[in-house]
Structure 1
Amino acid sequence: MIDLFFSTDLRACIEANLSAFKRHAIADESLRHAAVAIVIVEGNDGQAVFLLTTRPAGLRRHGGQYALPGGRLDEGETAPAAALRELEEELGLTLGQDRIIGTLDDYPTRSGFRITPIVVWGGDAGAIHPDAEEVDQVYHIPLADLMSPDIPHLEPGPDDHPILSAPLATLGHQVFAPTAAMLYQFREVALLGHDTRVAHYDQPAFAWK
């Protein structure tokens, strides 16, 4: 079992697993390109945690939903650069390219995006200063939550594609794909070294818009 306390050994393990992973990119230019950051920082008890947010309820897109920090790429921008920019804009975390330790598969959404998940080692990133216009709350979720045998939770979906969710003990309830799908692949690939794909998992109808 991998040691999920925050350490240089954990970073090296995640980085090695992601380096060995042959990621799938989506080339469909009809899908708008976005990036999210799975950013790992040290929790108060020494555990490694990732940062999860809820979006303000009044936002036009995905208001009130759980989300990883991220957003649409600007013209000419790369996915890693966009993920770092969004971390700074949403959470006030300024991190350099040297903090990027890998990339997961692109995930296609029902709302017309292809999302590239960027894994970022936040380290001693310092205090978080959320932008109230983009972030309602920030949660520090232990990586250990992702190891639950209840993840993934699958329900029947349209076109024979199951809807994936991830019950997170720290939250007391579940998050759904796309976020849950990317977190599940992060567990399987980055933490466990498996060759697991998630693009075929669907999202619930409330996440389509």
Structure 2
Amino acid sequence: MAIAVLERTATEPSSFLLTRRAAGLRAHSLQWALPGGRCDPGEDAIGAALRELHEELGLALDAADVLGVLDDYPTRSGYLITPVVAWAGRDPALALNPHEVSSVHRIELAAIEAEDAFDFVRIPESERRVVRLRLDDDFIHAPTAALIYQFREVLAGRATRVADLEQPVFAWK
């Protein structure tokens, strides 16, 4: 997964890119997501994140643009997500792949830094807390919310782990 950070411009605040997955996808269609996917044979997490940014958004970045890697996040469906934070510059030209992405959104860093941006709820199926990111009138759930939450914590200078944060039951598949 990739968190592509965009520099503040005269008209846009500092932000990162978040996508809505395409409607035709077999799994998690139309859900909010960070760009990402599986590693190809011989590829590491950074290479996969950069490739997926290019495949999904047409964003051509390289290893020099990588700012760092956040903690791995194990999903209920058996995947291990390694979030890669990359610098995407000021106003990169994007070319969405309609087979993977229905839309892309600039999310202001201030929106995730707000005190009430995230909340934590309990579900009967787990003893762990479910993390949610409030986005307008919608919620983004883990794993995406967990990765963005840790990114927010890093921006604030806090060392916060997220592997113990739960996903909602619908994301367990």
Report the AA paired with residue 120 of structure 2: L
Tell me the equivalent position of 2:127. Answer: 160
Percent of aligned pairs sharing the same letter:
49
- The question of whether the paired residues in 2 share the 8 Å contact of 1:151 and 1:184 is answered with no
| TM-score of the two chains, using structure 1 as the length reference | 0.78
- Of residues 74, 91, 100 in structure 1, which corresponds to 2:66? 100
- The question of whether the paired residues in 2 share the 8 Å contact of 1:43 and 1:140 is answered with no
Tell me the equivalent position of 1:195. Answer: 159
In the alignment, the residues of structure 2 paired with residue 105 and residue 146 of structure 1 have an alpha-carbon distance, to the nearest angstrom, of 18
What is the deviation of 1:125? 5.8
Tell me the equivalent position of 1:204. Answer: 168
In the alignment, the residues of structure 1 paired with residue 137 and residue 118 of structure 2 have an alpha-carbon distance, to the nearest angstrom, of 15
- Between Structure 1 and Structure 2, how many residues are aligned? 171
2:137 aligned with 1:172: yes
- The question of whether the paired residues in 2 share the 8 Å contact of 1:73 and 1:79 is answered with yes
Superposed CA RMSD: 1.3
- The question of whether the paired residues in 2 share the 8 Å contact of 1:41 and 1:122 is answered with yes
Report the AA paired with residue 187 of structure 1: R
What is the deviation of 1:130? 0.4
Structure 2 portions without partners, runs of 5+? none
Deviates more, 1:43-52 or 1:139-148: 43-52
- The question of whether the paired residues in 2 share the 8 Å contact of 1:66 and 1:175 is answered with yes
Secondary structure class of the residue paired with 1:139: strand
What is the deviation of 1:150? 1.5
Structure 1 portions without partners, runs of 5+? 1-35
| TM-score of the two chains, using structure 2 as the length reference | 0.94
Secondary structure class of the residue paired with 1:167: strand
Secondary structure class of the residue paired with 1:38: strand
- The question of whether the paired residues in 2 share the 8 Å contact of 1:56 and 1:135 is answered with yes
